[in-house]
Amino acid sequence: MTASPNGGEPEGGARAAAVPIAGRAGVRAWWRTPTARRLAFGYTLLSPAILYVALLVGAPFLFSLYLAVSDASVGDPFAEFVWLENFKAAWESPTFWIALRNSILVTVVAAIFKSLLGTTLAFLLLQPFRGKKLIRGLVVIPFTVPSAVSVLGWKWMYDSQFSVVNWALNRVGLISAYGTEGWPIWLGQPHLALAAIIAVNVWRSFPFTAIVLLAGFTAVPQEVIDAAKVDGTTFMQRFRFLVIPMIAPILFVGLLFDTVFTLSDISVVLLLTNGGPGNATQILPTLAYQIGILAGALGRGAAISLFLFPLLLPAMILLLRNLKRREW
């Protein structure tokens, strides 16, 4: 991270360009130019943030690659290289495949419901009406409450006997009474538990989808819409050929963010089912936590958590390309 002399800055540019040819004296003179001082100042200001991120995100990331190919465990600091042994062990364990499948299933199914609920909500919130601020504030509550807190609330709502969800379903006649076959035990039956987890995921983030979409919709200039109206386009045409292309980038970023959040979220599963019943609701993050921290097999855990990376990578590359295209 050295200050480069060709900073492309008009007032100092001419002198900076001469630096490589000049000798020691020239270098010393260059250090006194405004450009050089600005660059030195700039990188000094940047360095604490970069150091922090490099030391506590960059280095741990590399360290986790190392852990994944070692037999490190909590009690044993002297790890040996085992190459791809951890990945192989994961690959051969049926629980890993359940976790991988659930991770993808939860993310995809939740994304579908979030898009449906989010889009319809965004359209409703786009209309002018009284009390919009208040209603918007109420509707985004799920996204703003810390997830551990709201998941605890859901756990109580899914209680096997005193579930308010079941009480309501029973009252409207959709399920039969407690103690019978027709009384769903949300967190105790494999398929229901998975559905319950997806429901909480959707509940938590459909407001986010709606707000991102709303931000996109309101960013489309009214004049453009009006001009298209004058030209005699229908609503659907305007939507398809004007609004969607214009909000596509923002939609995209919102969707990618949501995917990353959902894939790596651990609190919903950990607090609701802890991966159970059996291993039916295990996802990659919970499995990595159980094996890496609870069972103390750091290497195994790191390998499992790294399987998330290929799932995340496409989203992150797309996001990167999108951010680079933005105007500066």
Partner 1 sequence: MVTAARPRSQRAKEIRRHVLIYAGLSPYILIAVFPLYWMAITALKQEADLYRMDVIPVWFNLPPTWKNFDYLFNHTNYGAWIVNTMAISALVSVITLLTAIPAGYALARLRLPGAENLGIAIFMTYLVPAIILFLPLSRVVSMIGLQDRWWALVVVYPTFTIPFCTWLLMGFFKTVPAEIEEAARVDGCGQLGALVRVVLPVSLPGVLTSVIFAFTLSMQDFLYALAFVSVGDQKPVPLGVATELIRGDVFFWGSLMAGALLVGVPVAILYNFFLDRFITGITGGVVR
- In the range 68-107, which residues lie near partner 1 by CB under 8 A? none
Options 19-27, 80-88, 228-236, 243-251: segment touching partner 1 (CB under 8 A): 243-251
Judged by CB under 8 A, the residue of 142, 188, 276, 277 near partner 1 is 142
Give the shortest CB-20-to-partner 1 separation in angstroms: 16
Q: Which of 18, 112, 138, 295 binds partner 1 (CB under 8 A)?
A: 138
Tokens encoding 114: 């979030």
The helix/strand count (H/E) of the chain reads as: 18, 0
195 belongs to the binding site for partner 1 (CB under 8 A): no
Point out which span in 16-24, 85-93, 133-141, 224-232 binds partner 1 (CB under 8 A).
133-141
Tell me the C-alpha distance between 2 and 315, whole Å: 31
For residues 260-299, which are near partner 1 according to CB under 8 A? 260, 263-264, 266-267, 270-271, 284-285, 288-289, 292-293, 298
* Cβ-contact 269, 275 below 8 angstroms: yes
State how far the Cα of 269 lies from the Cα of 69, in Å rounded to an integer: 27
- Quick one: which of 11, 27, 61, 174 contacts partner 1 (CB under 8 A)? 61
Among 17, 22, 27, 53, contact with partner 1 (rule: CB under 8 A): 53
247 lines the binding site for partner 1 (CB under 8 A): yes
* Identified binder of partner 1 from the candidate list 31, 41, 91, 241, rule CB under 8 A: 41
Q: Does 46 bind partner 1 (CB under 8 A)?
A: yes
Which token pair is 269?
């599963």
**Residue 208 near residue 231 (C-beta atoms within 8 A):** no
At its nearest, how many Å lie between partner 1 and the CB of residue 21?
20
Using CB under 8 A as the binding rule, whether residue 212 contacts partner 1 is answered as yes
Minimal distance, residue 75 CB to partner 1, in Å:
11
Q: How many CA atoms lie within 13 A of 20 on its CB side?
A: 5
Sign of the alpha-carbon torsion through 194, 196, 103, 318 = positive
**What dihedral angle (degrees, nearest 10) is formed by the CA atoms of 249, 254, 257, 261?**
-160
CA distance 110 to 197: 9
> How many CB atoms neighbour CB 289 within 10 A?
20
Q: Which of 17, 18, 88, 137 binds partner 1 (CB under 8 A)?
A: 137
- In the chain, the amino acid numbered 188 is G
